[in-house]
Structure 1
Amino acid sequence: MSDTGQEWQVARRRKGAARKSKSLQVSAAPACCQEQLDIGKTVKRIRDTVSELRCEDFWQKWKEQLLMAGSASLSKHPENEDTEDPADQLEKGREGRLCQQLECVCYGLGSFSSCASARYQLAMLLLLLDAGQIPLKDCSVYDPAFSIGERDALRELGLTVLTENEEGKRLATKPTLFYMMHCGKALYNNLLWKNWSTRCLPLMLIIGNSFSGIRDRTIEREFKRDYSYLCQAVDVCAETQLPCPSRFTDVFSDTAVVTFPTSSLNRLPQSTWAEPPEPQYQNCPDLEIILSKTQS
């Protein structure tokens, strides 16, 4: 209890930092110290945090929303269309069997060995994977802030660690859960651009910042100019706000399940989908993303 209390005191002193883009958080620790991370101790600490979160009441609400949204996303996949009654699909989703067809991509987790907020967010990811019966190997994780030791710890947990900075430009070719806690606007915008079609967007299930919340916190002209895909997506996505107890404000605040119903996407004119230009961000003074080396 004393260790947890100390960690939360540290987290609260950093109030507000967790809600900023963690893609900007690069560990200041020397490389030699990062390599000396005790993998076994780190993995045990993460699993203890998983056990702690599993006992929280709000976790059950997260689980229910994942399974419901996962069932809806899977029903959009060609292999599953018109093969089963939607009510049966939803029931299977509640039991956690249907979501095993989902893949998962996690961006911007942060340095979980040194940051309590990042460790709780990693623990929540592991809980969601378990609830949806998504194999650990089918979850790919990436953050430029990961140390060598942290990458080894993630592999020890069974996750797949990406070695290249995709800048969020991952195409969803099958139903995919994107876990993006407190990521920057550019990362969301890049993901939307890469999947900007009526076929790919419905395959995406995002657990991350509320899009409407991002809009409310951004100057309107900058939002439209710099993050056009995010700006358009706000009006056609479906959001379900996830509960967050006050003591986890720095960890899970403003988090929502975001999906893209086909019926909403079809309301947009066909010109919306014609050759969408890749985002450039040339006029962004505070770009919340770490670019790949080839772009930097």
Structure 2
Amino acid sequence: MDRNPGALRGALRARPPSRCVGYGLGRFCSCPVARRQLALLLLLLDELGLPPSQCFVFDPAFSQQELALLAELGLRLLPENEEGKHRVGEAATLFYMIHCGKALYNNLLWSNWALGALSKMVIIGNSFRGIEERLLSRILERDYSYIAKVLKGTEEIAFPSHPQYTDTFNDTSIHWFPLQKLKELSCEVWECVEEPTYQECEDLEIIRKEDSVSP
């Protein structure tokens, strides 16, 4: 995976999104790592020329103070816990999901499981290749099948490493799904569109909608 900062910037500029969705920013009022991740999100919006009003965020952990600060910054709160199941529709969308649970990425892919939708997405988050390397193949294919199926249709560039921010952006990559690569996937890849349930998953890593509580 390329770690060239210029390649990272070029990948974003080559696929300019018209909106952004941010999941899992965390408790940035109390956590320095979360603050740095929020700062990068704001810098990315500026770099891409996206107004804050076109960035929609959600984390069930947000406090009332954090919600107020996000509103002051001009960011918009998603109305409910989507569990990552956000459809891009016609809008090219950047998903900012650093250190989110694997099920969140899997849900996002499932909800956009079509050539046209996937090719409109850019995901900044945990390395898909890293997920593949760390999980047994049978677990990846059973619990996170959409990540497993999209790997061959994915382009990925790792974030540049920095000794000062090893705990902030470690294992982070930018991912996108070129239409031509997606077309090269087998027909069988697109036939199963069953919604993930994670019934056999021992460590889900996300907060379910029914488990969300008001901050």
Residue 168 (structure 1) aligned to one of 69, 74, 84: 84
RMSD: 2.0
Structure 1: distance between partners of 2:152 and 2:135: 15
Paired with 1:246 and 1:240, the residues of 2 have a C-alpha distance of 19
Q: Match for residue 61 of structure 1?
A: 5
Q: Which amino acid aligns with 1:268?
A: L
Tell me: CA distance 1:226–1:275, structure 2 relative to 1, closer, same or farther (3 Å).
closer
Distance in 1, matches of 2:23 and 2:125, equals 10
Q: Which residue of 2 aligns with 1:278?
A: 195
Q: Given the alignment of the two structures, is residue 186 of structure 1 paired with residue 103 of structure 2, yes or no? A: yes
Question: How far apart are 1:274 and its partner, in Å?
Answer: 2.8
TM-fit CA distance, 1:247:
1.6
Q: Which amino acid aligns with 2:18?
A: L
Letter in 2 for 1:159: L
2-structure distance, mates of 1:220, 1:273: 19
Alignment size in residue pairs: 210
CA shift for structure 1 position 294: 7.8
Q: TM-score scaled to structure 1, two decimals? A: 0.67
User: Which of the two has greater helix per residue?
Assistant: 1
Q: Is 2:163 aligned against 1:231?
A: no
Unaligned runs of 5+ in 2: none
Among 197, 201, 224, the alignment partner of 2:114 is 197
Aligned partner letter, 1:203: K
Determine the C-alpha separation between the residues in 1 that align with 2:129 and 2:8.
18
Return the match for 1:266 from 183, 190, 193: 183
Which secondary structure state, in structure 2, belongs to the residue aligned with residue 279 of structure 1?
coil
Identity over aligned residues, as a percent? 48
Cα distance change, pair 277–294 in 1 and its aligned pair in 2 (3 A):
farther
Question: Which residue is 1:220 aligned to?
Answer: 137
Matches of 1:262 and 1:71, distance apart in 2: 17
Name the structure, 1 or 2, with higher relative contact order (CA <8 Å, separation 6+): 2
In the other structure, the counterpart of 1:155 is 71
**Aligned-partner residue type, residue 69 of structure 1:** A
* Match for residue 253 of structure 1 among 167, 170, 190: 170
In structure 1, runs of 5+ residues without a counterpart are 1-57, 74-98
Instruction: Compare CA radii of gyration and give the structure with the larger one.
Output: 1
Partner Cα distance (2:208, 2:180) in 1: 34
Q: Structure 1, residues 7-45: CA drift from partner, whole Å, max 9, x if none?
A: xxxxxxxxxxxxxxxxxxxxxxxxxxxxxxxxxxxxxxx
Could you tell me which residue of structure 2 aligns to residue 17 of structure 1? none
